Structure formats: C-alpha cells, structure tokens
C-alpha cells in the first residue's frame, strides 16, 4: 500500500472515530461468512458501525485522536472496530451474540473498549461494560425520580378527594 493511500485510510478512520463517542476493539477471527453477516446485520440494527482495518493504521488514527496508549496493546491479531454513540450497546451485542457459549472463547471477543473517556482492556470487562448505563437511560431514571414525588402528591390528593366526597355523601344520607 502506498504512503498516500495509508494516509487516506488513517484520515478516514480518524473521521469515523470523531463521529462516534465510544468504540470497542473486538476479535472476530474465525467467524464464518454466515456468522459475520449476522454480526453485521445485528450491528446495523443497533446503530453500531463495524469496521476492519490494519492495526498499524488504526493505531495511528487513535494516536491522532489522543486515545491513551494503554489500548494499543490490544491491537494484535485480527481486530475489528465497533463504533457507537451508546456506551453499552456494543457490549450488550457481544454478550447476546456469544450467549450460548460455555467455553468463553466464542467470537466476537472483547479486546478493549473506550467508553466515557475511559479505557477498558480485556474480555473480563464485558459484564461491567454491559452494566454501564447510557445517557438516555440515566435521563429516563432522573425523570422518573423527579416525577415520583409529584405523582404521590396527586395520588394522595385524589384519594383524599374521594374520601371527603364519601364522608360528605354519608353525612348527607344520614340527615334525611
């Protein structure tokens, strides 16, 4: 590959990395064509972009982005890049895709992840990454917490209204 072509690939990877706030480095070596197509379709449905690039070119793009050097150790062997704007979406996809595996060696396998400006290296972090809440999930929880006291007050007022109405109706029936 010519140096100009390499620079174009590095720039394209850098543009993709700038477009998405989170990325995962995964090992998909050994997946047959059917499983690879299934993985690509699952990624597309969840707004995850799946790319494969040479490790050296990917490392140069990551260096330009300013990612910690700790992640570069994961750039060995075949590496696919999963890009997402939701921090836990790729982790959940990997977990779902390897759900039936008892050996722990099923592919895709997490090598490293860059989520919420933190680097996670190793497949042992997959469960933790699945548990990280996305921005939308946190906002939904916050809204639910804020609405809860208001709902309790409205509920108490409505039940009190029915109680007062029942008392008044009973007193009205007794007067007759």
* pTM of the complete model: 0.73
Q: Give the pLDDT confidence score for residue 83 in this predicted structure.
A: 93
Average pLDDT in the chain? 83
Tell me the pLDDT tens digit for each residue of 61-75. Answer: 988 888 888 888 888
In sequence order, the 6+-apart residues with CB closer than 8 A to the CB of 71 are 25, 62, 112, 114, 119, 121
Mean pLDDT in residue range 20-40: 89
Percent of the chain clearing pLDDT 70 (strictly above) = 85
pLDDT beyond 80 at 151: no
27 close to 98: Cβ distance less than 8 angstroms: no
Q: Which helix (H) or strand (E) holds 81?
A: strand 80-84
Cβ-based neighbour number of residue 94 at 10 Å: 25
Instruction: Tell me yes or no: is domain 3-132 CATH 3.20.20.370.
Output: no
Helix (H, G, I), strand (E, B), or coil: what is residue 113?
strand
Mean pLDDT in residue range 44-73: 89
Q: Give the pLDDT confidence score for residue 117 in this predicted structure.
A: 81
pLDDT beyond 90 at 41: yes
Q: Give the pLDDT confidence score for residue 45 in this predicted structure.
A: 92
Most confidently predicted of 47-51, 119-123, 145-149: 47-51
Percent of the chain clearing pLDDT 90 (strictly above) = 14
Mean pLDDT in residue range 118-125: 87
Greatest CA separation for the chain: 102
- Pull the structure tokens for residue 155: 């509920």
- Burial of 149 per CB tally in 10 Å (0-12, 13-18, 19+): exposed
């Amino acid at each position: 590959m010519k140096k100009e072509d390499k620079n174009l690939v590095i720039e394209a990877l850098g543009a993709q990395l700038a477009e998405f706030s989170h990325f995962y480095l995964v090992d998909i070596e050994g997946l047959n064509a059917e499983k690879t197509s299934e993985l690509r379709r699952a990624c597309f449905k969840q707004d995850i972009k799946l790319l494969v690039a040479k490790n050296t070119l990917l490392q140069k793009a990551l260096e330009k982005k300013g990612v910690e050097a700790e992640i570069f150790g994961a750039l060995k062997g075949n590496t696919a890049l999963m890009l997402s704007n939701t921090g836990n979406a790729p982790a959940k996809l990997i977990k779902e895709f390897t759900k039936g595996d008892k050996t722990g060696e099923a592919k895709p396998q997490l090598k490293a992840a860059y989520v919420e400006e933190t680097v996670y290296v190793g497949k042992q972090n997959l469960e933790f990454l699945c548990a990280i809440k996305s921005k939308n999930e946190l906002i939904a929880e916050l809204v639910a917490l804020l609405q809860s006291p208001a709902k309790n007050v409205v509920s108490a007022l409505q039940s009190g209204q029915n109680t007062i109405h029942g008392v008044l109706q009973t007193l009205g029936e007794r007067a007759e």
